[in-house]
Structure formats: structure tokens, C-alpha cells
Chains A and B, each alone.
Chain A
Amino acid sequence: MNPNPQSSDGKHDDDSALSDFLASLMDYTPTIPDELVKHYLAKSGFQCPDVRLIRLVAVATQKFVAEVASDALQHCKARQAAVVKDKRDKQQKDKRLILVMDDLSKSLHEYGVNVKHQEYFADSPSTGIDPASREE
């Protein structure tokens, strides 16, 4: 007698749901082309001829990138909303939502990717230190 009949049934349902999901991938064309996904998968050493798996990776990547992009969009809108009131004319002109590096870096920072530009570059460790304290 099966000790966990419900868990096995549940597992079977999950498997079938996943199988159906994989099958439904063939009806959907991801934004990321299959060739591109295959190229980068091959670079990392993974090769699979099954298109469903390629599409799965494409969909997962698309979802992830879309989340980052939507976060960046939120940052962009927030940045535009924070424009000073007396600059309303410029705001009218710059109403377009344009992705800039600032927004992208803020968005990526939340996902653990640091793409911030260095604020400054120093010639030596003592650059920027007060000359008086440097002499000491």
C-alpha cells in the first residue's frame, strides 16, 4: 500500500501540469529568438535539441528582463514626477519615457547587479584629501 497516496497523486498532477506547460510553449513565440538562446546556452556548455526547453529558458529570461525593465520604468516615471514645478515647460517636452542609465542601474541594483558609474577616478589614494591633513 502506498504510504502517501495523496502526495504521489499531487506529484503526478504537478508533473502533468508541467508537461502541459511545456507543450504550451510551442504555441507561444517568445520575444527572444530560439537561435539566440541556443547560442548563449551553447556558450555555457548546455546543449539540448528539444525546443521546449529552449523556449522555457527564453520565457524565463524574458520574464526576468521584463521585470527589470518595468522596475526601470517605475524609476523613470518617479524621476519625471519629481521634477520641480517651475520646470513644467521642460516636463511637457520631456514627457517621453526614455530609459537612461540612471534608471537602469537603480533597477539592476535591486537584483544584485552593480552597473553604477564611478563617481570619480583618482590618480592616487591621497587624491581628494585635504592638503593640510595630507601633510600631517
Chain B
Amino acid sequence: MSLLGDDGRGYDLARLLESCGVWREWLGGSTYASFVHFLSSPSAWESFMRIDDSTSRAQIHLQLRCRALLFDKATVALFLRSHPTNAANNNSSSSTSSSSIDVSKLNPNYLQLHGDDVYFTLEGSSQDGGAASNTAPSKSKSSFSAGSRYVEPEFDSLSQRYRNDELRETWYNQFIEKYKLTRPYKLSLGDRESEKRTPEEMTVYLRTLEKHKRRRVAFQDDLHTGYGNTGLDGNTSVDDDTPFFPETMFLMNCVPDSPLPPTTRVRDKKEIEFFGVLDTLPQVSTRSPVMIERLGIRPEYLNMEQGANINRGKTPRKHLSQEQASQVSRKVIARLLTGVGFEGATEAPVEVFSQFLSCHISKLGRNLKVLTDNYRKQCSAIELIRMFLQTSGYSNFGALAELIKDGTSNLVQQTQQQMHAIQTQLQPQHQNALRMAQQLQMTRQMHPQMQQMVHTQNLSFQQQQQLERMLRRHPSTPCPVMDMADKDRPLVQVKLENPAELPMDNKSSNPINARHQQMQFRQQQLVAMSSLHSQSNNQFRQLLSPQIPQTMNMGGVVRAPPVKVEGFSELMGGDTTLKHEAEENKLTSPTTTK
């Protein structure tokens, strides 16, 4: 340490301590007398500090005690780098071979012996009357806040012997004895009312602590600049050097140095990715790309060995809240009940069943956790899964495979049936469907025009009929015609009711029938269009209701029964409410006919 000089003997520091009268206190009167002449010259000091075979045991002990005090006072140099007022000294103290710090700059009060630097009065056995055990010749400031100091057993016995025999007159013992006489510091735990935590006492504690720190600053510069002039109460006296034992003086009113709580590891709420034993499930043995496609195996599986993760970071993870999970559980239960054959359920069973579902999943999770935690090392992943299936009651997973197969085949069948139904509906009216698609496109394009026409309300009936014919006839207008192949694709799942059950006149012919259907579809289109814009809704209703019977009567046959078309709202992209309203008005018997 730089305060001990280049040779590390600390002669200058020892001289300074002598000038402050510290050696006499530290060593005691009798020992001091044999020591003081070593401070007369550097050579004498060096001979004192040197240890060789001729050095007696008493001298070694004396040397150790001196070294203890020197090191204790010199340790302040270890903290000089963090001190801003010692920036000039930092440069010099940073290098090991640099010149030592001027010891004359040390604060004399700092060099004095202070019992409160060492003692923690709440520690110690009853034999010492609560005094801290001075078990080692060396002391350090770090032991001030420590509780029982860790001492090796043999060293402890040695220290006991020293304490009892040779260190009876050490300064610390004298100090604590004196302190006990002057100020009894035993805790009065019985009198709890006097020991209360109050803001006033805490303020006093802080002020006292501040004063104490100011008095004990190591360097005189700090005393007069940083700490010295800025006091809570402006009092910078250094004479009052009463020992500061906060554990007894401010039993309930000690305030921590920092308002911040001790730093603990912040809980990272992010999901920590870890690799468990079940992360490396065995891959499918096949390597054929065709088989891979057919089985639907994703490429990530094959790269598992390289550390690629399945569905890790691919899709954003959706974390469900408890309420959301309950809701989803209820929906799942409703779907399951429907699949089983129920047509309805009361509220209580759905609620109970959903909780049952969640409990079962949790139970399976617990089983998995127990198995993986306990048999992670003994068993492979596939064996663990087998064990899990056995505990769940599916040791023969054929039942699960059947469920999957049934589910997959049902889905395929359903899709195929839908496709077939749509194809059968579309095939007999192949051309009409195409025309309908064309008209649909046209109406979409002409919709603004029609809307204008409707808004003006100037259309005569004849004009409306012309519009109808125009819509019927338009094969050559430049409009995007649907691809022939698209006819097979279900635009929308349209389910027609009573498509062919029309009470027809015998005179009616197929073209008329087809024409009826065309008109019906066109009516649906018009209705669907009206659903797009609520403004024109009323006008449409007025127009359509007299219009329909006219067109029908023009055909000269019959009025077709209402045809309900589901899905047209989705087709047209409008809301269904208006559509239904329009439908109602359309489907009711027209009251007035021209």
C-alpha cells in the first residue's frame, strides 16, 4: 500500500501515529517503552520490522501488533480511486512503483483509535459482557459490521490464550471496559415502548451518522472541502469523538445507507428456452421426400439434430389468460358435445365439464413432469412417452390412432360431400351458372349506376324492365368472365331450398323454368346488392315488391315460392340483417299489383 512507503515498512506512518500519541494507547504503557526507540531512525525501524532467526518471540508479537495498526490505517489507500477529491493521488497510487502518498495529509482524527470501528456490541458471549471478541491481533474495518467472525478452531484457542494472558491490557479491552462503565449499552428489550421507530429519531440517526463520517474522513482535504463544510446542521466540529454504536444508540431507528433495496436477480418473465429430454423425439426413419410430403412431416423435424427448434419463434406465442382459457374450454366442450350427439346442454354441466377438461390436462401435465424429472437419465424420450401413455391408460395407442384416423377421414368426407353437392347443383345449370357469374360481376360493376337510378326514383316501370333485360342479356360487355374451371370451385356454399318444386303450368316450358330460376337468382343478387348500402334499401324494397309480380306475370306462369339462399351475404360481402329485412319484404305477398 502506498501509505506504507516504497519499502512497505510504513516508517512515516509510524512517525505520524507517534505524533498523534496513538502508539502509547495501542500498545500500552509497558510495551510502549520498549518500542518507542525503534521510531528514532529508519534503520532502527527497519531492524525492528525485519524478522530473522535472532528475533525473539516477544518481538515478533510486538511487530505483529504494530503491523496490525499500520495496515489498518493504510487500508484507506485501497479506496482512493473511488474518491473524487483524490484524483491527483489516484494517478500516483495506481502504479505500484510510484511514490507513496503523503502521509501528512491524513486526518489526525482518522489516525486515532476508535472502538466503534471494530466493535459490534450486540455480538459476543455473556462472559465478555457483550463485548466483541478480539480474537486476532489484526483488525480490520470490515469486521465492524460482521457478526460472529469466522475463526478456525486452533486459531480460536490461540486467540483465547492471548486474550487471557497477554492481551489483557490491549487497547480494545480497556476501551470496552471504559465504555461499559460510562454508558451501559445492554439492550433493554423489556422496555419496548421506549424503543420505537420514529421519524425524529431516524433524522437524528442520519445526522449523527453524517457527523460521524465527517469526523472520520481519512484526508484533511476531504475534511475541509467535501465533507467538512456541508453538514446537515452546519456544525463541523471534530472534537466531539464519542463512539458511535448505532446498534445500541439507535436500536430501532437505523436507516439503511441507500433507499434502494438490495439488488436481487430480476425475474426474467421471458420464457426461458431449455432443452428437455422430450425435445428430441425420434424422427421418422423414412428419408424419401415423397413419403415426407405424404406424411406431412415438416422439414424442421429432420433438422432437429442440428438444433433447430420446432415451432420456436416461428409463430408468435399466444399466452392465454385464465379467463380466456376458461372460455376456450367451454367452447371446446360445446364442440365435443355436439360431436358426440348432444343437441344442447345446460350451463352447469358445461361449466363443470370444462373444469374437468382443464383438470385432466393438468393431470396429464403433472404425469409428464414427474416422468421426465425422475426418469430423464434412465429412459429415452420414446420410452418416456410410452410410460406416459401407459399411465394415461393408452398403453395401446391404437385407440388414439383410430380417433385420429376417424377425425381425418370425417374431415375428408365432409369436404368431398360439400364439393359433390356443389357440383351437382352447378352442373345442370352449367350455362346459367356461368351467366349468373357474369351477371354477378356485372351487377357489381353496375351497382353504382343502379344505385343512382334507384336514388332518382324517376325510373318508370318500363325502364326497370329494360334494366332487367339488360342484365339478362349482356354477354359481350367487357367484364371479367369467370373461368370455366372456376365453376367447380365453390364460390360460396349455397344451399338452395325448393329449387325445383315450382307449381308450374303445363304450358310452361323448360326455358321458362330456367328463366324463372334466372330471375330468382337475379332477385337474390339485387337483394344482396341492397344489403350493401343501407341508403338505397328502402328504395329497393319499394321497387322490388311491385317489380317481382310484374316480372312474374310477364312470364305468364306462376309466382314462384320463396327461395332461401344461404351464403349470399358472404358472397356479396354485406351484412345479413339488411338482407333479411329485404328478403322479408320481398317474400311477403305483394299487396298491390298493377
* Chain A residues near B (Cβ < 8 Å): 14-16, 18-28, 30-33, 35-37, 39-53, 56-57, 59-66, 68-70, 72-73, 76, 96-101, 103-104, 108, 113, 115
Contacts A40-B362, A46-B369, A48-B279 known; 5 new A-B pairs at CB < 8 A = A31-B339, A47-B276, A49-B311, A98-B342, A98-B344
Given contact pairs A21-B401, A63-B400, A69-B342, A51 touches B311 in the complex (Cβ within 8 A): yes
Is the contact region of chain B dominated by helix, strand, or loop, or is it mixed?
A: helix
- Nearest-neighbour CB distance to chain B for A118, whole angstroms, equals 14
- Nearest-neighbour CB distance to chain A for B392, whole angstroms, equals 5
A32 — nearest CB in chain B belongs to which residue? Answer: B332
Q: B352 near A115 (CB under 8 angstroms)? A: yes
- Nearest-neighbour CB distance to chain A for B404, whole angstroms, equals 4
Which of these, A39, A66, A108, contacts B339 with CB under 8 Å? Answer: A66
Q: B356 near A51 (CB under 8 angstroms)? A: no
- Nearest-neighbour CB distance to chain A for B122, whole angstroms, equals 43
Q: A24 near B361 (CB under 8 angstroms)? A: no
A24 — nearest CB in chain B belongs to which residue? Answer: B404
Closest 5 CB pairs of A and B: A44-B365, A99-B345, A41-B365, A40-B361, A46-B365
Residues of A near B336 (CB, < 8 A) are 31, 62, 65-66, 69
Residues of B near A37 (CB, < 8 A) are 361
Q: B364 near A61 (CB under 8 angstroms)? A: yes
Complexed CA–CA distance, A35 and B319 (Å):
7
On chain B, the number of residues with a Cβ less than 8 Å from chain A's Cβ atoms is 72
Q: Is B33 an interface residue (CB 8 A)?
A: no
Q: Is B88 an interface residue (CB 8 A)?
A: no
A96 — nearest CB in chain B belongs to which residue? Answer: B343
Q: B345 near A19 (CB under 8 angstroms)? A: no
Q: Is B186 an interface residue (CB 8 A)?
A: no
Residues of A near B319 (CB, < 8 A) are 39
Stretch of B94-102, B130-138, B282-290 at the chain-chain interface: B282-290
Which of these, A57, A62, A101, contacts B352 with CB under 8 Å? Answer: A101
Q: B342 near A15 (CB under 8 angstroms)? A: no
Q: A16 near B285 (CB under 8 angstroms)? A: yes
Q: Is B349 an interface residue (CB 8 A)?
A: yes
Listed by A's residue number, 22 A-B pairs whose Cβ atoms lie within 8 Å are: A18-B386, A23-B284, A23-B295, A23-B301, A31-B336, A33-B328, A35-B318, A36-B325, A37-B361, A44-B366, A48-B276, A48-B368, A52-B310, A60-B389, A62-B403, A66-B403, A69-B353, A98-B344, A100-B349, A101-B346, A101-B349, A113-B356
Q: Is B281 an interface residue (CB 8 A)?
A: yes
Q: A44 near B369 (CB under 8 angstroms)? A: yes
A-B contact count (CB 8 A): 201
Which of these, B271, B310, B400, contacts A60 with CB under 8 Å? Answer: B400
Complexed CA–CA distance, A116 and B310 (Å):
43
Q: A45 near B365 (CB under 8 angstroms)? A: yes
- Nearest-neighbour CB distance to chain B for A17, whole angstroms, equals 8
Given contact pairs A46-B366, A46-B372, A99 touches B346 in the complex (Cβ within 8 A): yes
Is the contact region of chain A dominated by helix, strand, or loop, or is it mixed?
A: helix
A98 — nearest CB in chain B belongs to which residue? Answer: B344
Given contact pairs A46-B366, A53-B385, A61 touches B361 in the complex (Cβ within 8 A): yes
Which of these, A24, A61, A76, A113, contacts B401 with CB under 8 Å? Answer: A24
Residues of A near B404 (CB, < 8 A) are 24-25, 27-28, 59
B294 — nearest CB in chain A belongs to which residue? Answer: A27
Complexed CA–CA distance, A50 and B310 (Å):
6
Q: A60 near B392 (CB under 8 angstroms)? A: yes
Q: B358 near A22 (CB under 8 angstroms)? A: no
Q: Is B357 an interface residue (CB 8 A)?
A: yes
Residues of A near B298 (CB, < 8 A) are 26
Residues of B near A66 (CB, < 8 A) are 336, 339-340, 403
Given contact pairs A19-B282, A36-B332, A99-B349, A28 touches B407 in the complex (Cβ within 8 A): yes
Q: Is B408 an interface residue (CB 8 A)?
A: yes
Q: B368 near A41 (CB under 8 angstroms)? A: yes
Residues of B near A35 (CB, < 8 A) are 318, 320, 328
Which of these, B273, B344, B401, contacts A49 with CB under 8 Å? Answer: B273
Q: B357 near A18 (CB under 8 angstroms)? A: no
Complexed CA–CA distance, A73 and B362 (Å):
25
Given contact pairs A48-B276, A96-B343, A98-B345, A26 touches B296 in the complex (Cβ within 8 A): yes
Residues of B near A98 (CB, < 8 A) are 342-346
Q: A43 near B295 (CB under 8 angstroms)? A: no
